[in-house]
Amino acid sequence: MDSEALRKFSALHPRPAGLTLHYGTAGFRSAAQQLDHVVFRMGLLAALRSKAVTATIGIMVTASHNPEEDNGVKLVDPLGEMLHPSWEEYATQLANAEEQELQKVITEICQKAAVNLHKDASVFIGRDTRPSSKKLSQSVIDGIQVLGGQYHDYGLVTTPQLHYMVCCQNTQGQYGKATLEGYYEKLSKAFMELIKQSHCSGEFQRHLKIDCANGVGALKLSEMKPYFPQEVLIHIYNDGTKEKLNHLCGADFVKVHQKPPGGLDMKPNERCCSFDGDADRIVYYYKDTAGRFHLIDGDKIATLISIFLKELLAKVKQNFKMAVVQTAYANGNSTRYLQETLKVPVHCVKTGVKHLHHKAQEFDVGVYFEANGHGTVLFSKAAETKIRQLVTEEKDNEKREAAKMLENMIDLINQTVGDAVSDMLVIEAILALKGLSVQQWDALYTDLPNRLLKVQVADRRVIDTTDAERRALTPPGLQEKIDALVKKYKLSRAFVRPSGTEDVVRIYAEADTQENADALAHEVSLAVF
């Protein structure tokens, strides 16, 4: 390691005294002006990780749905997954080290993680459209170069596009070409192949209004437009030319406030959707003729995709194991519908993409979605190989056609991480193939009224949870109080958990009526103090 270079460059990216940050569920996130040293050091860490695993590592500068003034950074592992949990601690140590201790901390990481500093390093960089992102990504480059690493800067990309690039690069192109054209071509080809199999093709024109949260999704979707067939009429709103990123719009705003975003005029029964600021989440919605707003969140997206996949799996008759993975936030009626009506096993895990992704890997076909609209489908290697084989070898027409649809689904869905663009195409294809309107989709089941609250407490870490965050272990007595409150209402459920991204405790409650869900959430929030 070139100690002189390390000293010189770390002095250019000084750490504000007394600032301690943690690598949380979504990497580091904070006010942008606090992050320069963090991104520089994450450049160092990405180079170390690359040397450790002899593969290309990704690094994305984004704070997703946070306000425009914030920023963040997260690392992407070789197959496009989130950074391995064992390295999150190294990330936190490196970010918080005193400047004169930086070299020592790097040496310690090298020892603990068996990193050979003489090895090559390769890092892919991406960033969102925040005004601070460009400069921060330059600081990432400084970090990579101090450790002699190579880099490729993709500039403005969605978070899932960067995950895709990293996966393509490390699988020698098996997953696709590690370029934006490669991404657009792969997705659009699979999409067109899929809708070709629709019996009503030709008759339909698909209008879809998309709120891009004034983020990078708008740019990438515009770039992709020429790749779409004429029938697909995509109308982009909140493209970032007029308003601020995530301001009164985007998937998080729509989900949290349960109302339409600003900047998008919605006529009755029109199908609309919202991306978040870095386009890794999507929710759908519409307004009925009475003017009532209907949200179709991640749970209902998972349900639609599961119905479609389950039918195809029944046709190919391979006994593939399929399951849906949710978190405690999943609406109780979605879980009931999946288990009781659709008869698909449902698993509940802790909040955070890495937990859902990890669980979904246990199945041949693992569908995972957070209620907030982040999700995807994972196919096991064995299932994928078998499906591709059926497409070329199967004599039975129906079976072969079903396998072909599954094959196109495999290519259309971004298996590295939840991807708003890819999810949107999957949903549009399924709606077209099944001839479903947005209202029919919405009517699969009715969401139980629910309420999400957050409260500030002195130390949110006093709350420790178990059972996929559905029960509180500490402080003593809290769970008993929640149990007693829940008993007062019908169809009720409530839980508390410390946020992984903000200094708050979150409270979720659902019940038979909105008044009851609100009352229960409020009563539970009082019990937290």
Q: Is 85 annotated as a binding residue?
A: no
**211 is known to lie in a ligand binding site:** no
**How many Å apart are CA 305 and CA 327, to the nearest integer?**
17
DSSP symbol at 342: S
Residues in contact with ligand 16G by CB under 6 A are 25-26, 351-353, 370, 372, 374, 499-502, 506
CB count within 10 Å of CB 368 equals 28
Closer by beta carbon to ligand 16G, 62 or else 145: 62
Please tell me whether 497 is known to bind a ligand: yes
132 appears as a binding residue in the annotation = no
Q: Does 370 bind Zn ion (CB under 5 A)?
A: no
Catalytic residue among 10, 30, 50, 64: 64
Residue placing its CB nearer to ligand 16G in the complex, 175 or 368:
368
Residue 276 touches which of ligand 16G, Zn ion, none (CB < 5 to 8 A by kind)?
Zn ion
Residue from 276, 297, 407, 447 binding Zn ion (CB under 5 A): 276
Residues 52 to 71 in contact with Zn ion, rule: CB under 5 A:
64
Q: Reduced to 3 states, what is the DSSP secondary structure of residue 151?
A: strand
Q: Which of 355, 250, 377 is nearest to 308 (CA)?
A: 377
Please give the residue whose beta carbon sits closest to Zn ion in the complex.
64
Name the minimum Å distance from CB 275 to Zn ion. 8
Helix (H) / strand (E) element for 329: namely: none
* Residue 278 touches which of Zn ion, ligand 16G, none (Cβ within 5-8 Å per kind): Zn ion
**Residues 278, 364, 384, 510: which binds Zn ion (CB under 5 A)?**
278
276 is in an annotated binding site: yes
Query: Does 64 show up as a binding residue in the annotation?
Result: yes
Helices (H), 13-132: 36-53, 85-96, 102-112
Whether 64 sits among the annotated catalytic residues: the reply is yes
Q: What burial letters (b/e) apply to 434-460, b meaning 16+ CB within 10 Å? A: eebebeebbebbebbbbbbbeeeeeeb
Question: Among residues 170 and 372, whose Cβ is nearest to ligand 16G?
Answer: 372
- 419 sits near Zn ion (criterion: CB under 5 A): no
Residue 24 has a CB neighbour count (10 Å cut-off) of 18
Name residues whose C-beta falls within 8 Å of residue 324's C-beta, 6 or more positions apart in sequence.
302, 306, 338, 344, 345, 346, 347, 366, 367, 368, 369
Q: How many helices (H) does the chain have, and how many strands (E)?
A: 18, 19
Report the residue number, 364 or 370, with the smaller CB distance to ligand 16G: 370
Q: Which residues does the annotation mark as catalytic?
A: 64
State the residues that interact with Zn ion by CB under 5 A.
64, 276, 278, 280
Q: Which positions make up the binding site for Mg(2+)?
A: 64, 276, 278, 280
Q: Which positions make up the binding site for substrate?
A: 370-372, 497-501, 506
